[in-house]
Chains A and B, each alone.
Chain A
Amino acid sequence: MSLANIKHEDEARLGHVIPMVPESTIKEESYLQMVVRRFKKHKLAVIGLFVMIVLGLMAIFAPIIAPYDPYAINETFSAPPSPLHWLGTDQVGRDILSRLIYAARVSLMVGVGAVAISVAIGTILGLLSGYYGGKIDMVIMRLTDVFMSFPHLMLILVVVSVVGPSLTNVILVMGLLFWTGVARLVRGSVLQVKQLDYVKASIVLGLSTPRILFQHILPNVIAPILVNGTFGIAAAIIIEASLSFLGLGVQPPTASWGNMLTDAQSLTVLSSQPWIWVPPGLLIMLTVLSVNFIGDGLRDALDPKSIK
């Protein structure tokens, strides 16, 4: 940090020696353009983004794409893949492909919903904690420590079992419990940004505190929040799948990739009807992998320290 500053000062002092380049030859690259350019270099992240767009479209247009009603019971149950049912039918006789397509809605809703809530809570608490410091900081940070002390899956299992399993509850509980990482991250960034002259200037100018927090400080901590939130989506999707797999998340007949695997706990289904449990498992993996790659790409693209 200090080295970089010295370098800057030198450049400023020696500014006149730097050969002047005619302005027209310098292509001005906006911050966003730079981020997009760097993101594109991460091939896996680009593929991940493509996969997520396809999955998103699949979720939105599920009623048009799905060949059958995901709840309709067909004449054959536990039938292997056939031209009629491309991925076969489940134990009740519902078309697996249609259920897979509809279940994309659940996973994406959980991922986005839970992260939106937890990022909102984490950002506000982190901003308050870092900006005010003192007692407020102490209380918020101890609260963060307490929530971080429970293993995520364990805590959410217990809470969901108490409030009752459902899609809404899973989203709410995850959102209300998983804000700790973001809160710490935002607090750390705020502590750094707070020292900068432009923030001090806004205080001297007498700007209102909310305005300083949201207009002057928040834009500078958005990059780490974005990266953290992306990885959060991946984690939320896995946790929803795990809960639903255990029967404590999204309840049948609503299809979720996780609860489509529940039947595989019986050895008969596991050994002789792989078409029931392999496709949803692969889809969870593909989705989580894509989101993780996007997160990695964003981290590279948004990190001011990486030179690419």
Chain B
Amino acid sequence: MFSYIIRRLLITIPIIFGVTIINFLIINMAPGNPVEMMIDPNLSQEDIEARKDALGLNAPLYVQYFNWLMNLLKGDLGFSMSTFEPVTQIISERLGPTILLMGTALFIGLFIAIPLGIISATKQYSKLDYFVTGGAFMGISIPNFFLGLGLIYIVSLQLNLLPTGGMVTLGGDNGLADRTLHLILPSVVLGIGIAGKKIRYVRSSVLETLGQDYLRTARAKGLREFIVINKHGLRNALIPIITVIGLEIPLLLGGAVIIEQIFQWPGIGQLTISSIMSRDYPTLMGLNLLAAVIVVSANLLTDIVYSLVDPRIKYE
């Protein structure tokens, strides 16, 4: 067990290393170079070359990568090309709102998926089962921006129930109630995407458990069906579901980019779009790296938790 965790940790190191290389290469494909974009167009070519030398931009690519990596290890991601603030600072300011949004969305997604998946499995092939499974397909097939726009149209503009976007009402009291109202729509949209994916997963997990011998034993002992399913069945069916929550992180991060844009949610998703628009490559590089590191950590955590919960897992 312990050695599994160590080995799993060790395997993560080359992955992170590879992630930094890919990330560096992508941004290096960008047309133009940062110096030409940032400085006075009246400067002569020699001045530009001198500036590039000073910034190390004329060095071979692997030297540039190595320098960048060394800075990265010191926690230095460079400076934004639009606001000239340190990238780490800009990103960390935006991280809070995104974590809040993703956390709430995950909660909503599971809150929808777990009960529906269980009902669907226990009433397999019933009308309700088809309805839920069909709904799950809708959930994964509807583009989240269309769902977001549709909800803004109906809930905010027609019914006037919730705000159309932002995190707080401008000039409002910034109170908890106000913040909660702003959080509902974006997190529901993201949550529905998660639910769509998870319902099928919960359903098949419960179905598999319901076919196990120990449930037949429980029934044979004369236990009531309610106890058989809820006490003996679900407990074992839900463990794999809870442990693979981490695998939804990439979906949530990708979704956050679009949802934050539609709802003007001031998180890293919105920052991604604005960095793309202003060609702020240092910030973009930092964001892409952060996203990958979050995904790698989530996968690592998932595997570790799973190995703790299910001792049968062994690393080959």
- For A274, the chain B residues whose CB sits under 8 A away are 153
User: Are B142's CB and A285's CB within 8 A?
Assistant: yes
User: Are B257's CB and A154's CB within 8 A?
Assistant: yes
User: Are B152's CB and A270's CB within 8 A?
Assistant: yes
User: Are A151's CB and B251's CB within 8 A?
Assistant: yes
- For A246, the chain B residues whose CB sits under 8 A away are 258, 261, 273
How far is A281 from B134 in the complex, measured between Cα atoms in Å? 19
How far is A28 from B287 in the complex, measured between Cα atoms in Å? 58
How far is A276 from B149 in the complex, measured between Cα atoms in Å? 12
Given known pairs A150-B19, A267-B164, the reply for A142 and B143 (CB within 8 Å) is no
Q: Is A277 an interface residue (CB 8 A)?
A: yes
- For A241, the chain B residues whose CB sits under 8 A away are 143, 145
- For A296, the chain B residues whose CB sits under 8 A away are 137
Q: Name, among A143, A146, A148, the residue most crowded by chain B CB atoms within 10 Å (CB to CB).
A: A146
User: Are B272's CB and A154's CB within 8 A?
Assistant: yes
**CB-contact partner of B254 in A151, A245, A248, A270, under 8 A:** A151
Which residues in chain B, 78-119, are within 8 Å of chain A measured between CB atoms? none
Give the segment of B54-62, B233-241, B290-298 that binds chain A.
B290-298
Q: Is B307 an interface residue (CB 8 A)?
A: no
Which residues in chain B, 274-303, are within 8 Å of chain A measured between CB atoms? 276, 279, 281, 284, 287-288, 291-292, 295-296, 299
How far is A145 from B276 in the complex, measured between Cα atoms in Å? 26
- For A109, the chain B residues whose CB sits under 8 A away are none
Give the segment of B26-34, B36-44, B174-182, B215-223 that binds chain A.
B26-34
User: Are A157's CB and B295's CB within 8 A?
Assistant: no
User: Are B295's CB and A277's CB within 8 A?
Assistant: no
Q: Please give the distance in Å from B271's CB to the nearest CB on chain A.
A: 12
User: Are B254's CB and A153's CB within 8 A?
Assistant: yes
Which residues in chain A, 129-149, are within 8 Å of chain B measured between CB atoms? 142-143, 145-149
**CB-contact partner of B288 in A155, A242, A258, under 8 A:** A155
Task: Kindly supply a per-residue 1/0 record for chain B positions 141-156, scoring 1 wherever the CB is within 8 Å of any chain A CB and 0 otherwise.
Answer: 1111110011011000
How far is A152 from B150 in the complex, measured between Cα atoms in Å? 24
**CB-contact partner of A245 in B153, B251, B258, B279, under 8 A:** B258
- For A146, the chain B residues whose CB sits under 8 A away are 15, 18-19, 21-22
With an 8 Å Cβ cutoff, the count of chain B residues facing the other chain is 51
Given known pairs A151-B291, A261-B146, A285-B146, the reply for A157 and B257 (CB within 8 Å) is yes
User: Are B257's CB and A270's CB within 8 A?
Assistant: no
Q: Is B162 an interface residue (CB 8 A)?
A: no
Given known pairs A151-B253, A153-B258, A281-B143, the reply for A162 and B29 (CB within 8 Å) is yes
How far is A261 from B261 in the complex, measured between Cα atoms in Å? 14
Q: Is A234 an interface residue (CB 8 A)?
A: yes
User: Are A150's CB and B288's CB within 8 A?
Assistant: yes
Q: Please give the distance in Å from B155's CB to the nearest CB on chain A.
A: 12
Give the segment of A19-27, A199-207, A287-295 that binds chain B.
A287-295
How far is A161 from B281 in the complex, measured between Cα atoms in Å? 10
How far is A86 from B257 in the complex, measured between Cα atoms in Å? 34
Given known pairs A154-B291, A157-B257, A281-B150, the reply for A267 and B15 (CB within 8 Å) is no
How far is A219 from B7 in the complex, measured between Cα atoms in Å? 35
How far is A161 from B150 in the complex, measured between Cα atoms in Å? 27
Q: Which residue of A lies closest to B16 (CB)?
A: A149
How far is A265 from B255 in the complex, measured between Cα atoms in Å? 16
Given contacts A145-B11, A151-B254, A157-B276, 12 further A-B contacts (CB under 8 A): A142-B14, A146-B21, A154-B288, A157-B257, A158-B272, A158-B287, A158-B288, A245-B143, A245-B145, A264-B149, A281-B149, A296-B137
| 4 pairs of A and B residues whose beta carbons are closest in the complex | A153-B254, A146-B18, A281-B146, A289-B141
Question: Contact residues of A with B, CB < 8 Å?
Answer: 44, 142-143, 145-155, 157-159, 161-164, 234, 238, 241-242, 245-246, 248, 258, 261, 264-265, 267, 270-271, 274, 277-278, 281, 284-285, 288-289, 292-293, 296
Q: Can you offer 6 A-B residue contacts whose CB atoms are under 8 A?
A: A150-B250, A158-B26, A158-B27, A242-B258, A245-B145, A281-B150
